[in-house]
Structure 1
């Protein structure tokens, strides 16, 4: 069976409804409204998203990490629901600190199963996810008071220096691409010094690869990487497809259901990237 057909069968068999609706939008010309409708079940009355939309914690409470996954899903589908997004931005403004910064998670996760890495460090307001959330609102073209306040804080923090950890750097670049402070040479020179950046396609450990910074050929940060780098990681992505048609993950979610859910997310992402780079 070819790469796409095997991946499609995995998504149809094992992925969540929201990823199945996203797959249908990306590959089967389905109306993106189906993605919006699937996300509604994860949005709480306070406007935030929860209920394990990001599967590493099974907490129903609204968390910024789940808001980010909701925004990413809408962006991948090429759609938006302004009311849904504004409600989430209102909630971010309500839980932000005085500077506008928000944390990834919060103590509410402690009452529910969660991955080992979802711990106290995720309760601290930080560039990750604040910068990424601001950048995603900018991609939507949605202005909001929280976006302005948090964006000013992000700009001031990043003027002091880039993060030395790849996930935080990824979030920072989501923000920086919408500012006047775009310096490809600065970022390119910094990348080799960043923890959890997986420049080597043969490295099997958990981390952020060039394809996550540039998931499509028209990604803003694509010029950071050579053709050879990206081709190597595309080869690796093809090779990493599992016998069941999906892609594996390199960390331990809180249980088998969460593992399948996260595999659905990364498998749709892998197929999207391979299609964008004309590998399927």
Structure 2
């Protein structure tokens, strides 16, 4: 079994210093160097807008200043990592999501305001975008994990359950990721288990893309995503993940880079995520 040790983490630390965004450098320090959570939260504040949402390239492929739904999920993840589920920013995020929600409770994948700012070409929005399971299910799941009781969470959760009752034929990899996050954290555990059992085949069939592998859906052994893959597949993917590390100590991404700055930004974020996955599966020496 391949594992990484302290010397490998030292190389990763050097990579982060040379390439990572400030927020990801603080996240690396928090997770792997015993760093305090405060600097992560301080760095995150710079991405927050007065409406409670997040922009300013917190999602590296959305370069604009204005708030968009997907950066809000990054913010919720970072708040949770910093042990700040009770931070007032969580309620502000929920307020923002309520302000952009459609009548059915869902929020769009991206808002039309993206058109006036630099963005990756796959971020496209119609004039009146509908609510989408991605990112609504992710956002609802993360707010449930944070213990939120915000009024938007009820309609958003109902939106997700309706989708899971009839997911349709357009299921994609990002939809699977969103659904897994929702099922991992929604409070009704019996209903979540029943939904996963019913949809397991469909989720497994779509748990891949040209830049997603099994570990993207199963980043730790405790979630529903792990149940989509056999132990042999997970072990093979963990070995491959270690082998995919670059000589500079970091990992790269498999999706297109449309403007040069996004590569180091994504590489820093991705390196922290890959190391967290390796640690979750016991592939980092204590």
* TM-score (norm: length of structure 2): 0.88
Deviations 1:150-185 (A, max 9, x none): 111111121113762121011012112323232444
Q: Secondary structure at the match of 2:152?
A: helix
Pairwise mapping of residues 210-221 of structure 1 onto structure 2 (< 5 A)?
A: 210-221=214-225
Q: What does residue 208 of structure 2 align with?
A: 197
Conservation of the 8 A alpha-carbon contact between 2:183 and 2:224: no
Q: What does residue 17 of structure 1 align with?
A: 22
Deviations 1:204-227 (A, max 9, x none): x312x2212221223344233221
Q: What does residue 173 of structure 2 align with?
A: 166
Conservation of the 8 A alpha-carbon contact between 2:104 and 2:131: no
Report which stretch shifted further, 213-222 or 183-192. 183-192
Is residue 137 of structure 2 the alignment partner of residue 131 of structure 1?
A: yes
Structure 1: gaps spanning 5 or more residues: 199-204
CA distance in 2 between partners of 1:139 and 1:253 (Å)? 32
Instruction: Go from structure 1 to structure 2 and tell me whether the alpha carbon gap of 1:75 and 1:59 turns closer, same or farther (over 3 Å shift).
Output: same
Q: What does residue 76 of structure 2 align with?
A: 71
CA distance in 2 between partners of 1:185 and 1:34 (Å)? 41
Instruction: Go from structure 1 to structure 2 and tell me whether the alpha carbon gap of 1:254 and 1:124 turns closer, same or farther (over 3 Å shift).
Output: farther
Q: What does residue 3 of structure 2 align with?
A: none
CA distance in 1 between partners of 2:281 and 2:204 (Å)? 24
Q: What does residue 147 of structure 2 align with?
A: 141
Q: Secondary structure at the match of 1:120?
A: coil
Q: What's the Cα RMSD here?
A: 2.0
Report which stretch shifted further, 123-132 or 42-51. 123-132
CA distance in 2 between partners of 1:97 and 1:65 (Å)? 16
Q: What does residue 201 of structure 1 align with?
A: none
- Count residues in correspondence: 272
